[in-house]
Amino acid sequence: MLKIKLMRIGKRGQAYFRVVVQEARSKNKGRYFEDLGSWNPHQNVFNVKEERVKHWLANGAQPTDTVHNFLVDKGLVEGPKVKKVRPKKKATEEKSREAAPASSAETTPAV
């Protein structure tokens, strides 16, 4: 399956993204079929080749959630924006770490 993704380029602290068509399971910095545009998050400028995006969408390429939201803003895709939910890993890991030592201390008999 083909995906329209953001590929990060630029130096550390100066992120800049390309909008590319890539195989869904390929590495993010790997080979891509076509460069469709760019996104500069510092100036919040999103530029794409509208005709090529329409071509790839018509041929079955699926945009990622972030790219879908940008395309909705541009008017290339109709429908609502996709809410992207990220689970908070640190909170769940800390709770499991705190619970594990407490439960193991209770089960060991005091001699």
Tokens of 35: 């460069």
Which amino acid, residue 3?
Answer: K
pLDDT tens, residue by residue, 31-89: 999 999 999 999 999 999 999 999 999 999 999 999 999 999 988 888 888 888 777 77
Query: What's the pLDDT band for 108 if we cut at 50, 70, 90?
Result: low
> What would you report as the CA-atom Rg of the chain, rounded to the nearest whole angstrom?
21
Give the CA distances from residue 71 to residues 30, 36, 88, 104, in Å, rounded to whole numbers and listed in that order.
23, 12, 27, 51
Q: Which CATH number fits domain 2-106: 3.30.1320.10, 3.40.50.2300, 3.30.1780.10, 3.10.129.10?
A: 3.30.1320.10
